[in-house]
Structure 1
């Protein structure tokens, strides 16, 4: 498995700083469990942050200090000498090879996919809403039948979609296990699950999707998507 679509540097930096809300953090942590590249990037960020904190002098003038700190952290994270191996404040374990759902996602739903109870969305698609204490996001598992599209839609905010099993195409891009797609209100798209295997994804949104089909919009309150 080779992950080709990664979490954005900005979101990974917020995760490292502990400023992401629970919903987004579940998506990022699950991606990290499947992506050694982003785990190494996170380790470099955390090591660079620790080194920078040791050099920061105490001052009463905070001003734009957080923005300047983030800029310096980005610069340090891309410097091969900024953080030595093992400097990471915390580590994210890789996913269990035999499990479809990585931790911490598997603990949220109570089992791997074989033990889950899916709710029908229609046209062979299913979902599982994942409860969290984060009112700013909605977290769910989606299962899209092989070869079938998600109805055309855009977004009323940010959406993260992490592929856990199978794959889907969005335009010319192919998203497979471990790949993360980040979308916003500027993207109008119709993702299509590839043939041969249902596509299981983790999706995190901050607002309901905006579908172009009036039929889908009519039943959207019932489906709660």
Structure 2
């Protein structure tokens, strides 16, 4: 599977350290199951963090500046946690169970305890339906589906948003996101995904905080949908 959009290096480092929310972890793990490039990046960060810790923050090999920055952050966290037995698992690979990858279509059974069509879908605009799968503190996990041509309401965020495309495609901010791609957004700026292609688009989405809609109609419906 050829993928064009991935988590940022900072987000992958947070995942490596186990500091992302458990809900955010689910979406990142799902992307990693289909993305060899990101699995290798996480392994590189784990390896570099351990190497930096063992060699006092120095390595002789040439490495990417961004990778070195996150590797140093991981190294520092490893050192902070080195005496805490409860965090021993911190130094175990977070991609060990994902080496073989999987088909994204198999993920439905991972997140759902009923059939896809039996989920309690709620309308969130013309030809858009959403379903909240779980919540934890200020984070929520959603399934969103839209028909070709449908536009999600323009919105910004109260925190990070991670969107994994499970089926179909959408366009947003001059970029096209397709099956397996991960769209990472933060509280800076609004965006409006538009479903493209000939099939429906289904996404798994982790959000932090409430969405901030630009128009009054979705804001009015927001309490009913719970977004």
TM-score range, shorter chain: 0.7 to 0.9
Matches within 5 A, 1:9-158: 9-55=9-55, 70-72=70-72, 89-90=93-94, 91-93=96-98, 94-97=100-103, 99-102=104-107, 106-110=109-113, 113=116, 116-132=119-135, 134-158=136-160
Alpha-carbon distance change, 7 to 111 in structure 1, aligned in 2, over 3 angstroms: farther
- 2:170–2:193 CA contact under 8 A, matched in 1: yes
1:143 and 1:206 map into 2 onto residues whose CA distance is 19
1:73 shift after superposition: 6.0
What is the TM-score normalised by the length of structure 2?
Answer: 0.77
Task: Measure how far apart 1:27 and its partner are.
Answer: 1.4
From the superposition, tell whether residues 21 and 194 of structure 1 become closer, same or farther in structure 2 (CA, over 3 Å).
same
Write 1 or 2 for the structure with the bigger share of helix.
2
Q: How many angstroms apart in 1 are the aligned matches of 2:69 and 2:3?
A: 29
Which has the higher mean CA deviation after the structures are superposed, 108-117 or 120-129?
108-117
Equivalences for residues 166-185 of structure 1 within 5 A: 166-185=168-187
| 8 A Cα contact 1:101 1:164, kept in partner | no
The aligned residue for residue 219 of structure 1 is 221
Unaligned runs of 5+ in 1: 58-67, 76-87
Shift, 1:115, TM fit: 6.1
Q: State the distance in 2 between where 1:216 and 1:117 align.
A: 19
Structure 1 CA distance for aligned equivalents of residues 154 and 142 of structure 2: 19
Runs of 4+ in 1 over 4 A off after TM superposition: 68-71, 114-117
Return 5+ residue gaps in structure 2 as ranges.
58-67, 76-91
2:54 aligned counterpart, secondary structure: helix
Q: Please report the TM-score for the alignment, with normalisation by the length of structure 1.
A: 0.77
CA contact (8 A) 1:32 1:92 kept: no
Deviation at 1:71, TM superposition (A): 5.0
Q: Is the 8 A contact 2:48 2:71 kept in 1?
A: no
RMSD: 2.8
Partners of 2:70 and 2:127 in 1: how far apart? 45
Q: How many residues align?
A: 200
Identify the residue that residue 202 of structure 2 maps to in structure 1.
Answer: 200
Q: In the alignment, which residue of structure 1 is the partner of 2:6?
A: 6
